[in-house]
């Protein structure tokens, strides 16, 4: 058996999230179906860096699987992409050591969140960024964003539906950049809780529109109460951008 | 009664083309439905600069309608966009003279066609550009494109399903520009026949991949035979970009 690390990009619009659920069309589901087909009906389990919610996209989600087929690594994307639906594209594949694990070996993840500003919404970005037609104070957002950097208990910025006990995570960096009408939030960190990026973005948008002050962020963090933070920003603006590992 | 000129942008993916057809979801159909709703059930006819095919998009399609409602012109987009589906957005509206006609007053149209190059297709552009993973000779395409500029009989570059007798049109300019992996063809002209842009693009791609020589273009034009030209490029790469009028 050989272990393969794959990088996959997907449009999350037409899926009921990443993780396999009975009777639902999920990204993991179509990946396992394609791999099982390649392996002539023998079920192949896919282990990813983590799940993404319904409507959330990925540029560089990572997963691994084990195979006894010896196909050259550069052929794996070609074989799988010929079977996968158009919304899911294998970007690269690589044979790795047996101790590589797509979830446990993660060193850092990057998420991006896209917001489209402007007087009129665009019919072309409606599934790919949050349309936000209101005035935003970019400087206030930048100031507020800095309070999240570092190690914090993110209970206030985590869905109450989580099953994780430990809510302490480290955000390495947050960038907020505007290019014409597109505002992009980039987050890098050692891990992110359930809905964490979307709740941070929702809260930063409240800061940007004047409903919260930047100085309230540390207060909200200290409350460790989901109700203290802002609304969860819509799923369709969020992208799992890349996953970094110790090696590979 | 007052005449209103509207500019509309739409994602053509989910429509069976522009023109109203019984039992089909069309762009004109949803526009007339929205306008009829605003006019409390009184049918409002929409006249556009021309139809677009199923899957073809628009950045700046133009239509006109007549109304006896006196709403300030800047309010029309707000009212209509609140009713229209997300795939159709009214960009602007303007009261115009009674002799303005969205079809007959057209001075010039611009179409653009987008092609996505690269080793892997992207799940995010699959409905919005043609994926073309083969090597292209951009210089050969540029040379070939120049032969189309000017007044020509475009019979070879028109679907045989057309109902137009006169196949003479003038192309003012063709630009072919590459930005990273995106190749954009821009066409301006006094009018375009059925499938004309898509057949020209399909033929230029055959030139780019070496299956045809640039010097064959004048020969194909002279043949006045659809079979002499290349394949019709897929609808989903095409955009009606803007429509220009004498005034307004």
Q: Residue A22 above 60 pLDDT?
A: yes
Closest A-chain CA to B13: A124
- H-type alpha helices, A24-178: 27-38, 75-81, 138-146
CA quadruple B220, B221, B222, B228: dihedral sign: positive
Q: Which residues contact A149 (CB under 8 A, 6 or more apart)?
A: A171, A172, A173, A174
Residue B239 in contact with residue B57, Cβ under 8 Å?
yes
ipTM of the complex: 0.87
Contact B123 A81 (CB under 8 A): no
Q: Residue A248: what pLDDT?
A: 52
C-alpha torsion angle, residues B45, B51, B52, B54 (rounded to 10): 70
Residue A77 CA, chain-centre distance (Å), reads: 21
Q: Residue A163: what pLDDT?
A: 84
Mean pLDDT score across all residues of chain B? 95
Question: What is the average pLDDT across A19-27?
Answer: 88
Question: What is the average pLDDT across A173-181?
Answer: 96
List the single residue in B11, B81, B120 with the smallest CB-CB distance to A89: B120
Binding residues of B: 111
Asked if A121 is an interface residue toward chain B (Cβ–Cβ < 8 A), one would say: yes
Task: Summarize pLDDT for B125-169 with one digit per residue, the tens.
Answer: 999 999 999 999 999 999 999 999 999 999 999 999 888 889 999
Sorting pLDDT into bands at 50, 70 and 90, what band is B246? confident
Question: What is the average pLDDT across B166-182?
Answer: 96
Sorting pLDDT into bands at 50, 70 and 90, what band is A239? very high
Question: What is the average pLDDT across A146-172?
Answer: 95
Asked if A120 is an interface residue toward chain B (Cβ–Cβ < 8 A), one would say: yes
Return d(Cα A169, Cα A191) in angstroms, integer: 6
Share of chain B above pLDDT 70, in %: 99
SS3 B149: coil
Mean pLDDT score across all residues of chain A? 95
Q: How many Å from the N-terminal Cα to the C-terminal Cα in chain B?
A: 18
Task: Summarize pLDDT for A108-121 with one digit per residue, the tens.
Answer: 999 999 999 999 99
Q: Residue A115: what pLDDT?
A: 98
Q: Residue A17: what pLDDT?
A: 82
CB pairs < 8 Å spanning A and B:
52
Q: Residue B17: what pLDDT?
A: 82
Residue written as tokens 């979307």? A198
**φ/ψ of residue A155, rounded to 5:** -55, -40
Q: Residue B240: what pLDDT?
A: 97
Q: Residue A84: what pLDDT?
A: 97
Q: Residue B248 above 60 pLDDT?
A: no
Q: Residue B32 above 70 pLDDT?
A: yes
Chain A contact set for B75 (CB, 8 A): none
CA quadruple B121, B123, B125, B127: dihedral sign: positive
SS3 B95: strand
Binding residues of B for substrate: 111
Distance between B58 CA and the closest CA of chain A, angstroms: 10
Out of A15-29, A230-244, B197-211, B215-229, least confident range: A15-29
Is A53 a catalytic site residue?
yes
Share of chain B above pLDDT 90, in %: 90
Chain B contact set for A131 (CB, 8 A): none
Task: Summarize pLDDT for A31-75 with one digit per residue, the tens.
Answer: 999 999 999 999 999 999 999 989 999 999 999 999 999 899 999
List the single residue in B9, B10, B124 with the smallest CB-CB distance to A11: B124
Chain B, residues 76-95, CB within 8 A of chain A, namely 77, 81, 86-91
Closest B-chain CA to A74: B119
Residue A56's nearest CA partner among A19, A99, A13, A88 is A13
Share of chain A above pLDDT 70, in %: 99
Sorted by where each starts, the structural domains of chain B and their CATH numbers stand as: 2-104 (3.30.70.580), 110-240 (3.30.70.660)
Q: Residue A18: what pLDDT?
A: 82
Residue A165 burial (C-beta neighbours within 10 Å; 0-12, 13-18, 19+) = exposed
Asked if B40 is an interface residue toward chain A (Cβ–Cβ < 8 A), one would say: no
Task: Summarize pLDDT for A71-101 with one digit per residue, the tens.
Answer: 999 999 999 999 999 999 999 999 999 999 9
SS3 A31: helix
What does the block give as tokens for A37? 């087909």
List the single residue in A120, A122, A126 with the smallest CB-CB distance to B77: A120
């Amino acid at each position: 058996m050989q272990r393969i690390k794959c990088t996959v990009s997907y449009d999350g619009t037409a899926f009921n999230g990443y993780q396999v659920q009975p009777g639902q069309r999920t990204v993991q589901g179509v990946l396992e179906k394609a791999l099982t087909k390649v392996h002539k009906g023998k079920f192949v389990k896919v282990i990813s860096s983590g799940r993404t919610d319904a409507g959330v996209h990925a540029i560089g989600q990572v997963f691994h699987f084990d195979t006894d087929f010896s196909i050259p690594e550069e052929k794996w994307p070609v074989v799988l992409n010929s079977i996968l639906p158009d919304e899911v594209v294998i970007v690269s594949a690589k044979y790795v050591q047996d101790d590589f694990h797509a979830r446990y070996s993660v060193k850092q993840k990057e998420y991006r969140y896209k917001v489209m500003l402007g007087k009129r919404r665009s019919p072309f970005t409606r599934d790919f960024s949050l349309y936000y037609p209101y005035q935003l104070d970019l400087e206030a957002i930048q100031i507020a964003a800095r309070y999240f950097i570092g190690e914090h208990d993110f209970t206030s910025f985590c869905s109450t539906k989580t099953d994780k006990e430990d809510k302490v995570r480290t955000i390495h960096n947050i960038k907020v950049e505007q290019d014409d009408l597109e505002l992009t939030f980039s987050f890098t960190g050692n891990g992110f809780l359930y809905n964490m990026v979307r709740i941070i973005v929702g809260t930063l948008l409240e800061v940007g529109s004047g409903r919260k002050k930047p100085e309230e962020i540390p207060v909200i963090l200290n409350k460790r109460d989901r109700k203290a933070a802002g609304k969860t920003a819509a799923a369709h603006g969020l992208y799992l951008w890349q996953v970094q590992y110790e090696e590979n």
